[in-house]
């Protein structure tokens, strides 16, 4: 999020410095773009936690190699042979399914910021702004629409595989 705010501040300073926007417009532009870019970075590039866990969703103290194996099991949607790795994968699957955020939140936010970027690009074009400035907002608009289109299926796939993994674990536990 901080990288996004930095980006927004840089964009606002550029807009104010070129005389294309008033200080108020530049501040609003910086806040909007910074928040949008921060959300995009936060959604696209999840950070690792202190245990070295992939995507920061594993219990604290999890061995990084075990975390990678558990993540691979979740990608397959079925348990493996190691009970400790299965439990780590079960914990992650439960966290994914319990998460309240998802496509219902990210898709509208991406589309909102895409609309803002498109509006800024059109306004700058009508004001005869330099082509680079207009095209940078147009490219940002396209990238945000692509992010919206990609985030929903990725989220749905992760939830589906987590559900399949938990069902397979229940079936395995019922047999044993």
Mean pLDDT for 154-167 is: 91
Instruction: List CB contacts of 115: < 8 A, sequence separation 6 or more.
Output: 141
The predicted structure's pLDDT at residue 52: 38
Nearest-angstrom CA–CA distance, 48 and 67: 11
The predicted structure's pLDDT at residue 113: 86
On average, the pLDDT of the chain sits at: 77
Per-residue burial over 87-116, b = 16 or more CB atoms within 10 Å of its CB, e = otherwise: ebbbebbeebeeeeeebeebbebbebbbeb
Distance of CA 69 to the CA centre of its chain: 23
Query: Which bin fits 78, alpha (ψ -120 to 50), beta or left (φ > 0)?
Result: beta
Mean pLDDT for 126-144 is: 80
Report the predicted TM-score, pTM, of the whole model to 2 decimal places: 0.58
170: exposed, middle or buried (C-beta count within 10 Å: 0-12, 13-18, 19+)? exposed
- Most confident residue range from 101-110, 133-142, 143-152: 143-152
Three-state DSSP class for 27?
A: helix
The predicted structure's pLDDT at residue 164: 94
């Amino acid at each position: 999020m901080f990288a996004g705010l930095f980006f927004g501040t840089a964009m606002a300073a550029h807009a104010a410095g070129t005389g294309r926007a008033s200080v108020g417009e530049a501040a609003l532009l910086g806040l909007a773009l910074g928040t949008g870019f921060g959300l995009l970075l936060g959604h696209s590039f999840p950070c690792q936690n202190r245990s070295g866990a992939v995507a920061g969703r594993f219990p604290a103290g999890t061995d990084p190699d075990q975390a990678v194996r558990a993540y691979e099991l979740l990608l397959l949607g079925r348990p493996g042979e190691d009970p400790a790795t299965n439990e780590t994968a079960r914990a992650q699957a439960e966290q994914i399914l319990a998460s309240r955020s998802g496509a219902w939140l990210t898709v509208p936010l991406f589309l909102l910021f895409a609309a803002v970027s498109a509006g800024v690009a059109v306004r700058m074009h009508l004001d005869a702004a330099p082509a680079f400035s207009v095209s940078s907002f147009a490219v940002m608009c396209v990238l945000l629409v692509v992010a919206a289109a990609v985030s929903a299926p990725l989220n749905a796939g992760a939830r589906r595989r987590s559900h399949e993994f938990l069902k397979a674990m229940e079936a395995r536990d019922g047999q044993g």
